[in-house]
Chain A
Amino acid sequence: MSDSLRDGVQKFILENYLFTSDTSALGLDDSLLGRGIVDSTGMLEIIMFIEEQLGVTVKDEEMVPENLDSVNRIAAFVESKRKAA
Chain B
Amino acid sequence: MTQSLVDLLLAAAARDLSKVALRRKRATWTYADLTRGAAAAAATLRAAGLQPGDRVGLLFRNCPEYVAFFYGALAERLAVAPLNVQERASVLAIQVAHGGVRLVVGDPEHPEWESLREAMPTEVQMLAVTAHDDDDSVATFMKTVDARPDQTLESPVVARDDMAILLYTSGTTGRPKGVMLSHGNLVANNITIIEYLGLGPHDVGLTVMPFHFSYGNSVLHTHLGAGATLLLEDNLAYPLVVMQRLQNEKVTGFSGVPSTFAILMSRTHIEEFDLSSMRYLTQAGGAMTRAAIQRMRELVPSARFFVMYGQTRPRPVSPTCRPTG
Residues on A facing B (Cβ under 8 Å):
32-33, 35-44, 60-61, 63-65, 68
Contacts and interface: CB of A to CB of B under 8 A. Distances in A.
Interface in B233-284: 234-241, 259-260, 263, 267-269
14 contacts: A33-B235, A33-B238, A36-B61, A36-B111, A40-B259, A40-B260, A41-B259, A42-B237, A63-B239, A63-B240, A64-B240, A65-B238, A65-B241, A68-B238
A43 B237 contact: yes
Contacts of A39: 86, 234-235, 237
B241 A64 contact: yes
Nearest to A66: B238
A35 B111 contact: yes
Given A35-B111, A37-B111, A39-B86, A63 B267 contact: yes
Nearest to B268: A60
A44 B263 contact: yes
Contacts of B235: 33, 39-40
B234 A33 contact: yes
Interface in B60-111: 61, 85-86, 110-111
B61 A60 contact: no
Interface residues of B, number: 20
Nearest to B85: A36
Interface in B92-137: 110-111
Contacts of B239: 40, 60, 63
B131 to A, nearest CB: 11
Interface in B280-304: none
A1 B241 CA distance: 27
A68 B236 CA distance: 13
B111 A63 contact: no
Contacts of A32: 237
Contacts of A36: 61, 85-86, 110-111
Contacts of B234: 33, 39
Contacts of B110: 36
Contacts of B238: 33, 43, 63-65, 68
Contacts of B267: 60, 63
Most chain B beta-carbon neighbours within 10 Å: one of A40, A42, A63: A40
Most chain A beta-carbon neighbours within 10 Å: one of B110, B235, B241: B235
Most chain B beta-carbon neighbours within 10 Å: one of A41, A61, A63, A68: A63
Contacts of A33: 234-235, 237-238
Contact of A60 (B236, B237, B240): B240
Nearest to A62: B240
Nearest to B263: A40
A32 B209 CA distance: 18
A43 B260 CA distance: 13
Given A60-B267, A63-B267, A38 B61 contact: no
A61 B240 contact: yes
A38 B237 contact: yes
Given A39-B86, A40-B239, A64-B238, 9 more contacts: A32-B237, A35-B111, A36-B85, A43-B237, A43-B238, A44-B263, A60-B267, A60-B269, A65-B241
A64 B268 CA distance: 12
